[in-house]
Amino acid sequence: MLRCSVYTPDGKLNCWKLVNNNTEAEKYKRGLTRAVRNVTVVIEKNQRREVMEKKQRVLDLLEAQGTKIVTVTFIKANGSERVVNGLLKPTSKIVGSDRGLAQGEAMRSRGQIPIWEIKESKWKSFYAEKVELINGEKV
């Protein structure tokens, strides 16, 4: 999936259109630049769809791990990399109470994935779209 972004002469995004392939993108670009003067059409990958596909791939890979120990490498909010070796227990009570279970649900609603880090014996969390490696394999 490609995105054709249309920019005005001052560099502002005017509109965009999603197309399936390069042929459609070029056809759209030619038609638009003939009809409208002084616009620039940029053909680029549709990042949003790629992010959603990566997120789903990560969730599927983690689901397949079941109760096995998993090593997840992800990018933290500050841009640094973190490697966590732990267990994914989506139904456990994160802090040992119903309040902890509610906290886990709130985290999942924000897109966070909780993981019990074995080394430090504490819960950590990450976002699926920030995952780089699962058990040493690129996602």
64/94 same-domain check: yes
119 pLDDT exceeds 70?
yes
**What is residue 36's predicted lDDT score, i.e. its pLDDT?**
83
- For the chain, how many residues are written? 139
Give the total number of structural domains in the chain: 2
130 pLDDT exceeds 80?
yes
3 within 8 A of 45, measured Cβ to Cβ: yes
40/55 same-domain check: no
**What is residue 131's predicted lDDT score, i.e. its pLDDT?**
95
pLDDT: is 108 or 114 the higher one? Answer: 114
63/39 same-domain check: no
41/55 same-domain check: no
Assigned token pair, 75:
């990018």
55/108 same-domain check: yes
20/60 same-domain check: no
105 pLDDT exceeds 70?
no
**What is residue 114's predicted lDDT score, i.e. its pLDDT?**
87
C-alpha to C-alpha distance for 16 and 22, rounded to whole angstroms: 15
91 pLDDT exceeds 80?
no
Torsion-angle region of residue 66: left (phi > 0), alpha (psi -120 to 50) or beta? left
Residue range(s) defining the domain that contains residue 133: 51-138
pLDDT: is 79 or 49 the higher one? Answer: 79
Select from 13, 29, 45 the last residue of a domain: 45
pLDDT tier, 73 (very low <50, low <70, confident <90, very high otherwise): very high
78 pLDDT exceeds 80?
yes
58/30 same-domain check: no
Mean pLDDT of the chain: 84
Q: What is the pLDDT of residues 12-62, one digit of tens each?
A: 778 888 888 889 989 998 888 888 878 888 888 777 777 878 888 998 899
CATH number of the domain where residue 56 is located:
2.30.30.520
pLDDT tier, 134 (very low <50, low <70, confident <90, very high otherwise): very high
34/77 same-domain check: no
For the residues of 23-64, what is the DSSP string, one character each? HHHHHHHHHHHHHSSS-EEEEEE-HHHHHHHHHHHHHHHHHH
82/41 same-domain check: no
